Structure 1
Amino acid sequence: MSINQIVTPLDSGYLDTKAQYVFYHKMVDFALKELIVSAQQNQLCSTQEIIFFKQYADLLLYSIEAMRVKYMYDEEDNMKVDLTESGFPNYLEFRYLFNDLSLKEKYVNKLKDVSELQEEFLDSLLRKKEPVSRSKLFQAASIIYYTSVEQKFIFNRFVQGKIIKAPEGSAGEFMTSWSFFDVGCNRPFICFMYFDFEGTNIETNKELIYEMLMATADRDMSLDIMAYGIDRKLKDIKPRHIKRIDLGPFHNVFAKDENQITHAILQSIANKDLPLESYALSLKIDEVVSGSEFTEGGYFSKQTLQKWNEPVHQSYVLAPHRIIQLLYSKTPEVMNGLAKPPIQIADLEISKV
């Protein structure tokens, strides 16, 4: 099946051909790279935040590429693109990938010898003059997958960044980052926290801080509630500024949600007004900063906590010029509610061979 045979608005969220796997990966790879450049150019993130942002995006891209290698020739299973307001692979795909790679040593021992498989490829192509069978291609892909993909680089449900000294002028002395893939909305989130530490040695407390963040800030929730939960857990930690980036939805031909932007793009693709590779990416940035402090608890268990200002919510849309024109026509109320006019990014061009 060629790229031109991809059914568009109403089919399932499965990728079931080599062409679709290659097509989808190119779209995600291109969109995330455009996002990183645009976030820096439009000052959506600081210089240090962009460095962390790129690291988390690289893990996401690495994982999706691993899925492509794993599933491309698999006749029994297909990768699933989430049907909620996401456009990214379903969370369970990341979970399956992580669990599967924990058993890689078991599978590697069962793989066919590379030299034997090469002989079979040559026999099919040169002597029999016929294409290599899908089953042999799957065996070759499995060898690449199990011998080259590293579990530690898979985008997990929670990914913790290191604690470092915050850049000069930040709200706190230290900063850290983390990322999580929310199971409910099936989208990746990237978080940054600037904080002060009032203990004696932050090095001996880093693991406690990491554990606290994983237990308290690993899902989509009201940002002030997240901030309060972090503040309560460890008395020596004084969060001053928390920033959370919601990546998505990724609006593309494989998304099937009810989002207005997704619907407008899918309808235009179905009407042949837009090419299959048309895409847009929504981005939401929430921030909250501490304003003052208050004391909570009784005489023997007093704790000084932050009183948080009202969270700031900002929505952005990144899209090529033609898509921006379409969205102003089809979804003017969404465009008018953005923090700034839609950010123009490059068109994606994929050969339809």
Structure 2
Amino acid sequence: MSINHIVTPLDSAILNSKDQYVFYHKKVDFALKELIVGVQQNGLCTPQEVIFFKQYCDLLLYSIEAMRVKYMYDEEDNMKIDVTDSGFPNYLEFRYLFNDLSLRDNYLNKLKDVSVLQDEFLDQLLRKKQPVRRDKLFQAASIVYYTSVEQQYIFNRFVQGKIIKAPEGSEADYMTSWSFYDVSLNRPFVCFMYFDYDGKDPFTNKEEIYEALKAVADRKMNMDTMAYGIDRRLKNVYPKHIKRLDIGAFHNVFAKDDNDLTHTILEAIGKKEIPLEAYALSFKIHEVFTGGEFKEGGYFSKQTLQNWSTPIKEGYVFAPHRIIQLLYNKNPEIMNKLAKPPFQVADLIIEK
């Protein structure tokens, strides 16, 4: 593990109340669903890419919901939100969830039977006329968590998609996708690769392709560096187009990063010019395309590799109308450099 993978508690803010868990989960859930719709409506991805993008976002939302259930009444531990340049849960939270669910059976054997706990709840509420104690609520939440959350659906540091035939009109014969959670940035990324294959088909060789992607394309790096690493590692694979979606930062009341857009929103929330629910979501697309081939290696080990175009980098912002106005007033130099004017999404309204 490289130095870029080191994560410390100082990178995080802690959610320490039931209300904060509910509030945060509603914000992330709402913002990501608005992002999926916005990406589709504004043609930032092809129809097939949108399908894969939604699937990865669903895994992310499933994991955050699992965190909410796990930590809801836990007095000893609290969920941590990245405060550096993300606004999403700290990567360690996903790792804790995955590891914790590996011990599901051990924990279930120690928990009370559901019927016994139900009787205790009824006795407390109906006979004693008192609220259920927090430790009992934690026991109930733990039962829900360990009996309903599936480890296979937890968003991991690297999530591999399948190889499929590329949609008609694509620049290559095949495509695949993958997603990763960059542990230094604490942000999710989604990648697509369109490629040709020298051989019968790539499906018989898919495990080698998957392992190569996990080894050389599992973190944020320069797109031409990523493309060269994939190309060099897989001799029968000829990448033609690689596209990476960078989700975040999520600018909201829980973020405390140095991003100017986050500071603008936090300042306006502090002055009560906008509500606590206010948010904006940055979104970046980086792409590279092939531009010819070259040979590398010795006489007996020559390999044909791709020349890559200069990476195309485009930045976007999704935000409700009032926030778009605010950001234009306070940060016009940033907003005017976006690939397109900000995309308007719906306001989040939470009943107080």
TM-score calculated relative to the size of structure 1: 0.96
Q: Paired residue for 1:158?
A: 158
CA RMSD, Structure 1 to Structure 2 (Å):
0.7
Shift of 1:202: 1.9
For residues 110-125 of structure 1, what are the structure 2 equivalents within 5 Å?
Answer: 110-125=110-125
The question of whether the paired residues in 1 share the 8 Å contact of 2:121 and 2:132 is answered with yes
Q: How does 1:162-241 map to 2 (within 5 A)?
A: 162-241=162-241
Q: Which residue is equivalent to 2:90?
A: 90
- Map of 1:4 onto structure 2: none
More moved, 273-282 vs 196-205 = 196-205
Q: Distance in 2 between matches of 1:36 and 1:60?
A: 13
Cα distance in 2 for residues equivalent to 1:240 and 1:269: 45
Deviations 1:272-329 (A, max 9, x none): 1110000000001000000100011111110110000000000000000000000001
In the alignment, which residue of structure 1 is the partner of 2:251? Answer: 251
Distance 1:255 1:202 in 2: 42
The secondary structure found in structure 2 opposite 1:176 is: strand
Equivalent position SS for 1:74: coil
Unaligned runs of 5+ in 2: 1-11
Name the structure 2 match of 1:75: 75
Give the Cα separation in 1 of the matches to 2:171 and 2:233.
Answer: 20
Deviation, structure 1 residue 152: 0.2
Q: Is 1:317 aligned to 2:321, yes or no? A: no
Query: How far apart in 2 are the matches of 1:315 and 1:40?
Result: 16
Amino acid at match of 2:158: F
- Matching residue of 2:289: 289
Q: What is the Cα deviation at residue 83 of structure 1?
A: 1.1
Map 1:97-112 to 2 at 5 A: 97-112=97-112
Could you state the TM-score of these two structures normalised by the residue count of structure 2? 0.96
1:48 & 1:201 partners in 2: Cα distance? 20
Deviation at 1:169, TM superposition (A): 1.2
In 2, Cα distance between equivalents of 1:125 and 1:258: 48
Deviation at 1:200, TM superposition (A): 2.7
In the TM superposition, 1:129-148 aligns within 5 A as 129-148=129-148
Q: Which residue of 2 aligns with 1:3?
A: none
AA of the residue aligned to 1:176:
T
- Counterpart AA for 2:260: Q
- Aligned residue identity for 2:144: I
The whole-number CA distance in structure 1 between the counterparts of 2:64 and 2:295 is 46
Aligned to 2:82, what secondary structure does the other structure show? coil
Which whole-Å CA distance do the structure 1 matches of 2:94 and 2:334 have between them? 31
Alpha-carbon distance in 2 for matches of 1:203, 1:58: 26
Instruction: Letter of the 2:176 partner, please give it.
Output: T
Structure 1 residue 107: Cα displacement: 0.5
Would the aligned equivalents of 2:163 and 2:175 in 1 still touch at CA under 8 Å? Answer: yes
Q: Percent identity over the alignment?
A: 73
User: Helix, strand or coil: the match of 1:245?
Assistant: strand
- 1:23 and 1:275 map into 2 onto residues whose CA distance is 13
**Deviation of residue 199 (structure 1)?**
1.8
Q: CA deviation at 1:203?
A: 2.1
Structure-2 separation of matches of 1:92 and 1:243 = 26
User: Is the 8 Å Cα contact of residues 269 and 276 (structure 2) preserved in structure 1?
Assistant: yes
1:14 to 2:14 alignment: yes
Tell whether 2:307 aligns with 1:307.
yes
CA distance in structure 2 between the partners assigned to 1:199 and 1:110 by the alignment: 54
Amino acid at match of 2:14: Y
Which segment drifts farther, 201-210 or 150-159? 201-210
Determine if the alignment matches structure 1 residue 48 to structure 2 residue 27. no
2:163 touches 2:203 (CA, 8 Å); kept in 1? no
Could you say which residue in structure 2 is the equivalent of 1:8? Answer: none
SS at match of 1:40: helix
Secondary structure of 1:273's match?
Answer: coil
**Structure 1, residues 75-131: CA drift from partner, whole Å, max 9, x if none?**
001000001110000000000000000110111111100011001111111111111
SS in 2 for 1:289: strand
C-alpha distance in structure 2 between counterparts of 1:45 and 1:202, whole Å: 24
Mapped partners of 1:259, 1:42: distance in 2: 25
In the TM superposition, structure 1's runs of 4+ consecutive aligned residues that sit over 6 Å from their partners are none
Supply the distance in 2 between the matched residues of 1:322 and 1:130 (Cα, whole angstroms): 44
**Structure 2 SS opposite 1:295:** strand
Offset from partner CA, 1:138-185 (integer Å, 9 cap, x none): 000000000000000000000000000000111110000000000010
What is the rounded CA distance, in whole Å, between the counterparts of 1:50 and 1:218 in structure 2?
20
Distance 2:109 2:33 in 1: 37
Q: Counterparts of 1:128 and 1:171 in 2: how far apart (Å)?
A: 70
Aligned-partner Cα distance in 2 for 1:277–1:133 = 30
* Whole-angstrom CA distance in 1 between matches of 2:154 and 2:289: 32
**Aligned-partner residue type, residue 74 of structure 1:** D
Q: CA deviation at 1:201?
A: 3.6
Q: Given that residues 318 and 344 in structure 2 are in contact (C-alpha distance below 8 angstroms), is that contact kept between their aligned partners in structure 1?
A: yes
Aligned to 1:6: none
Q: Secondary structure at the match of 1:210?
A: helix
CA distance in 2, matches of 1:132, 1:268: 39
